[in-house]
């Protein structure tokens, strides 16, 4: 997809991407939340109906069940720029599809290991069970996760943090380096290039 008004890629070296300098410089993470249609999405609805406040950093996606959560979705969210992913479903034993949330739990645990291997802190992938009655609880958990991710700072992919959404400029820069395996040095941000590419290949593999 394309975006408008691309941010200058190379000039922000060292600055925190996606920060919100307009409001006092506090880092404002973007978090993708996966909810199930029956419990956690309804909990979010209930939080709304009860006017329970929580930070605006989370953006929820509704699935029918947490069991629908394809690990690809989580990796996609990270690769698209999310600083964290929150997975939420019915409490164990209360799944509306009998026991599919257990499958989500298994995938979550495996993914936690996978993302660590990719160099992502485990705190960036969190699991919260919330019943349809737990609007306040879900709001509280979202606030907690937001603060934890804020403390972690932005998700800095090695060599990747300077890549703009369109990548047009980067491509040009890439060509300019002659496709050296070490990557465009002025864009690597000091990260170990091998490491960067290892991660990259793994992500490519995983997302596929």
Partner 1 sequence: MTERIGVYVCHCGSNIAGVVDVAEVARWAAENLRDRGVVIARDYKFMCSSAGQQLVTDDIKEYDLNRIVVAACSPHLHERTFRTATARGGLNPYLCELVSIREQDSWVHTNKAAATAKAKALLAGGVERVRRNEPMEPIKVDINPATLVVGGGIAGISATLEIADAGFKVYLVEKDPSIGGHMAQFDKTFPTLDCAACILTPRMVAAGTHPNVELLTWSEVEKVEGYVGNFTVTVRKKARYVNEDLCNGCGVCQEKCPWKVPDDVFEVGMGRRKAIYTPFDQAVPRIPVIDRPNCAYFKNGTCKACEKFCDANAIDFTQEDQILTLQVGNIIIATGYDLFDARRIPQYGYGRLPNVFTSLEFERLCSAAGPTNGNIVLRDGKTAPKTIGIVHCVGSRDKNYNAYCSAICCMQSLKFAHLVMERTGAEVTNFYIDIRTPGKGYEEFYERVLEEGGHFVRGKVADITDAARLPGEEGKLIVQVEDTLTGKQRRIPLDMVVLSAGLQPRQNAKDAAKLFGISCSFDGWAIEKHPKLDPVATMTEGVFVAGCVSGPKDIPASVAQGAAAAARVLGMIQQKQMNLEPIKATVHAEHCSGCRICNTMCPYNAISFIEAEGVSSVNAAMCQGCGTCVAACPAGAISGSGFSDEQVLAQIEGLLRLGADGEPLRRTAYPATHHEAIEEAVRA
Residues 83-122 that bind partner 1 (CB under 8 A): 91-100, 103, 107
By CB under 8 A, tell whether 172 contacts partner 1: no
Q: How far is the CB of 191 from partner 1 (least distance, A)?
A: 12
Q: How far is the CB of 123 from partner 1 (least distance, A)?
A: 18
By CB under 8 A, tell whether 153 contacts partner 1: no
Of 10, 61, 110, 151, the one binding partner 1 (CB under 8 A) is 61
Of 87, 105, 128, 139, the one binding partner 1 (CB under 8 A) is 139
By CB under 8 A, tell whether 63 contacts partner 1: yes
By CB under 8 A, tell whether 188 contacts partner 1: no
By CB under 8 A, tell whether 11 contacts partner 1: no
Of 88, 105, 108, 161, the one binding partner 1 (CB under 8 A) is 161
Of 14-43, binders to partner 1 (CB under 8 A) are 17-23, 28-30, 32, 38, 41-42
The two beta strands, 125-129 and 84-89, are parallel
Q: Please spell the DSSP secondary structure of 88-156, one letter per residue.
A: EEPPTT-BTTBSHHHHHHHHHHHHHHHHHHTT--GGGEEEEE--TT-HHHHHHHHHHHHHHHHHH-S--
- C-alpha 65/C-alpha 4 separation (Å) is 34
- C-alpha 115/C-alpha 124 separation (Å) is 9
Contact 140, 53 (CB under 8 A): no
């Amino acid at each position: 997809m394309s975006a408008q008004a691309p941010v200058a890629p190379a000039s922000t070296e060292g600055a925190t991407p996606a920060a919100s300098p307009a409001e006092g410089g506090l880092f404002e993470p973007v978090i993708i939340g996966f909810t199930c249609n029956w419990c956690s999405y309804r909990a979010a609805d209930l939080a709304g109906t009860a006017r329970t406040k929580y930070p605006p950093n989370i953006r929820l996606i509704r699935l029918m069940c947490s069991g629908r959560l394809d690990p690809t979705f989580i990796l996609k969210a990270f690769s698209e720029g999310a600083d964290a992913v929150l997975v939420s479903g019915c409490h164990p034993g209360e799944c509306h599809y009998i026991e599919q949330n257990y499958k989500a739990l298994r995938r979550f645990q495996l993914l936690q290991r996978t993302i660590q291997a990719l160099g992502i802190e485990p705190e960036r992938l969190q699991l919260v069970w919330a019943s349809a009655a737990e609007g306040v609880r879900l709001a509280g958990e979202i606030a907690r996760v937001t603060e934890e991710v804020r403390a972690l700072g932005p998700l800095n992919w090695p060599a990747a943090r300077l890549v703009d959404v369109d990548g047009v400029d980067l491509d040009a820069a890439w060509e300019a380096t002659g496709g050296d395996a070490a990557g465009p040095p002025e864009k690597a941000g000091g990260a170990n290039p091998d490491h960067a590419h290892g991660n990259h290949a793994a992500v490519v593999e995983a997302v596929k």
